[in-house]
A and B are shown apart, each in its own frame.
Chain A
């Protein structure tokens, strides 16, 4: 069997293991409940801005639960192989260690794909339903047609998926050298916060006088991916003349995420290469 075949098998098995875990099901139910609950805020009668509220609320829920899913499922699925010694049986077969790492990651990536698709489909359904209702109540706000760009939600699915993919790859890298599941989860969330807030350092980079400090901040900004790059939900769902995302800009985000995933997986495979199991 070829390397892609073995990777595919490991990914399929990892996905199967993930969906049979209660944790995943609970998280999906919670996320669905949270997005659906955005509807109940309509009693405040925000008018057409209610749609933005629902979209923000929904994307917030996806980010919160998607991040938890990316970190916890990656760490859990990796360490279940190590602690249950199934990795021992697997790596005693003609399987390269990098194939094992990539296969595990792809299994998690399929889980994330299922999660993001389900959540954004639900968000789109809620938005469509409320938008149709608001079109009857406030027709003057919809003279130019629907406000929500539903194609943009499809595009958002890929950028969100890549963001969670980068987070899963970070977790995989930490898991490849760490000894415990807990350490991996805590450190991964810590790195996630850095990635989420590193734009503050980027913004202040040009103001720094000390060249050494400037170099350090520049290096750190490259080391940790900038998660703000992926925050394009509003531009994609509610595009305006002032705030829209070009095709080039969108493809740039996809390339940015893909490059980080490839680099992080490469480092994970390197780190896992000589790990004693």
Chain B
């Protein structure tokens, strides 16, 4: 059996918070396997240890105990990061570079061949719908644009594993929706995505598996469908609803020993309603205006 994309075994991380040896246990004996070509959501309230776990996976923090590996290579080794793209929470990038320069810079750092840098840069800029704003300085970008240029830099070297920390934090629903679609598209391209978030509705829509952490411990892990589905219940969506027909349906259900528990008008989500009434193609890119136009 092939190595999982991420293997976390008996991981514990303590932070020293006082002078008298007082420690805060951020992650407590966590074990987790994330397999290839999955979208995996790591969930939990603020301060539950999600980001600490993610940093240990990426080799940015040393664990107190336990092990962590990426495709079989220990996280402490720089080589484990060759196949990883990372978007940090609320990313800040070099403000003095343009979006295109930034992506090119990270492409070179990650060892993309010189002959491929231009093509790869343009490809990922297009993927995150930033090709029209790529000439602007990063310092002029909105939060949503920063997230998307962050995803572009994470993908530019075509990594097998993409780690996203709160990818939609502070992003409007249109931007969030675009990022969610992008995550699904990454899976279709064969990538493994590890996603840290507390926006549960979005996680539910994109993740194959989730793990929930609380106070540094793993409290639940499994496939989204298997965790959320009620095995002995089903909902029927009826078109051209008729109250008389409902009575007959109830009688039929009773005949088979089942009960009709709830009748309600289906609702679309507020996110969906928002997306239907806004221009999704104009995601946070603004418009370039010449000096002449600006003065008018």
With an 8 A cutoff between CB atoms, is A20 at the interface? yes
Docked Cα-Cα span, A90 to B108, in Å, equals 12
**21 pairs from A and B in contact (CB 8 Å cutoff):** A1-B109, A1-B111, A9-B109, A10-B109, A13-B97, A16-B96, A84-B92, A85-B90, A85-B92, A86-B93, A89-B88, A89-B106, A91-B59, A92-B60, A92-B86, A92-B163, A94-B78, A94-B81, A94-B110, A95-B109, A277-B60
With an 8 A cutoff between CB atoms, is B94 at the interface? yes
In chain B, positions 73-103 with a C-beta closer than 8 Å to chain A are: 78-79, 81-82, 84, 86, 88, 90-94, 96-97
Docked Cα-Cα span, A20 to B91, in Å, equals 21
Docked Cα-Cα span, A96 to B77, in Å, equals 9
- Which one of A89, A93, A277 lies within 8 Å of B91 (CB-CB)? A89
With an 8 A cutoff between CB atoms, is B105 at the interface? yes
With an 8 A cutoff between CB atoms, is B42 at the interface? no
Residues of A within 8 A of B106 (CB): 89, 93
State the total of A-B contacts with C-beta under 8 angstroms. 67
Among residues of B, the one whose C-beta sits closest to the C-beta of A8 is B108
Q: Is the CB of A95 within 8 A of B93?
A: no
Question: Beta-carbon contacts of B108-137 to A below 8 Å, as 1s and 0s?
Answer: 111100000000000000000000000000
Docked Cα-Cα span, A16 to B79, in Å, equals 28
Among residues of B, the one whose C-beta sits closest to the C-beta of A274 is B62
Docked Cα-Cα span, A152 to B86, in Å, equals 51
> Residues of A at under 8 Å CB distance from B?
1, 5-6, 9-10, 13, 16-17, 20, 84-86, 88-96, 274, 276-277
- Which one of A1, A17, A86, A91 lies within 8 Å of B60 (CB-CB)? A91
Q: Is the CB of A88 within 8 A of B78?
A: no
Q: Is the CB of B82 within 8 A of A94?
A: yes
Docked Cα-Cα span, A102 to B54, in Å, equals 26
Q: Is the CB of A93 within 8 A of B88?
A: no
Tell me the smallest distance from the CB of A5 to a CB of chain B, in Å.
Answer: 8
With an 8 A cutoff between CB atoms, is B58 at the interface? yes
With an 8 A cutoff between CB atoms, is B61 at the interface? yes
Tell me the smallest distance from the CB of B245 to a CB of chain A, in Å.
Answer: 58
Question: Beta-carbon contacts of B147-178 to A below 8 Å, as 1s and 0s?
Answer: 00010010000000001000000000000000
Residues of A within 8 A of B105 (CB): 9, 13
Q: Is the CB of B94 within 8 A of A17?
A: yes
Q: Is the CB of B91 within 8 A of A85?
A: yes
Q: Is the CB of B86 within 8 A of A89?
A: yes
- Of A6, A89, A277, chain B has the most CB atoms within 10 Å of the CB of A89
In chain B, positions 51-78 with a C-beta closer than 8 Å to chain A are: 55, 58-62, 78
Residues of B within 8 A of A (CB-CB), count: 30
> Residues of B at under 8 Å CB distance from A?
15, 55, 58-62, 78-79, 81-82, 84, 86, 88, 90-94, 96-97, 105-106, 108-111, 150, 153, 163
Q: Is the CB of A92 within 8 A of B109?
A: no
- Of A13, A91, A93, chain B has the most CB atoms within 10 Å of the CB of A93
Tell me the smallest distance from the CB of B246 to a CB of chain A, in Å.
Answer: 56
Among residues of B, the one whose C-beta sits closest to the C-beta of A16 is B96
Residues of A within 8 A of B84 (CB): 92
Known A94-B81, A94-B82, A96-B78: A88·B60 in contact at CB below 8 Å: yes
Tell me the smallest distance from the CB of B130 to a CB of chain A, in Å.
Answer: 17
Q: Is the CB of A94 within 8 A of B86?
A: no
- Of A6, A84, A90, A276, chain B has the most CB atoms within 10 Å of the CB of A276
Q: Is the CB of B60 within 8 A of A9?
A: no
Docked Cα-Cα span, A171 to B106, in Å, equals 27
Residues of A within 8 A of B93 (CB): 86, 89
Known A13-B105, A16-B96, A276-B61: A89·B153 in contact at CB below 8 Å: yes
Docked Cα-Cα span, A223 to B81, in Å, equals 37
Tell me the smallest distance from the CB of A7 to a CB of chain B, in Å.
Answer: 11
Docked Cα-Cα span, A88 to B93, in Å, equals 10
- Of A84, A92, A274, chain B has the most CB atoms within 10 Å of the CB of A92
Q: Is the CB of A85 within 8 A of B88?
A: yes
Q: Is the CB of B79 within 8 A of A94?
A: yes
Q: Is the CB of A90 within 8 A of B109?
A: yes
Docked Cα-Cα span, A93 to B163, in Å, equals 12
Q: Is the CB of B92 within 8 A of A86?
A: yes
Q: Is the CB of B88 within 8 A of A88?
A: yes
Residues of A within 8 A of B109 (CB): 1, 6, 9-10, 90, 93, 95
Tell me the smallest distance from the CB of A179 to a CB of chain B, in Å.
Answer: 13
Residues of B within 8 A of A5 (CB): 108
Residues of A within 8 A of B88 (CB): 85, 88-89, 92
Residues of B within 8 A of A91 (CB): 59-60
Q: Is the CB of A92 within 8 A of B58?
A: yes
Q: Is the CB of B94 within 8 A of A86?
A: yes
Residues of A within 8 A of B110 (CB): 1, 93-94
Docked Cα-Cα span, A86 to B108, in Å, equals 16
Docked Cα-Cα span, A90 to B88, in Å, equals 10
Residues of B within 8 A of A86 (CB): 92-94
Q: Is the CB of A93 within 8 A of B96?
A: no
Q: Which 7 A-B pairs have the closest CB atoms?
A: A92-B86, A1-B111, A84-B92, A92-B58, A94-B81, A20-B96, A94-B82
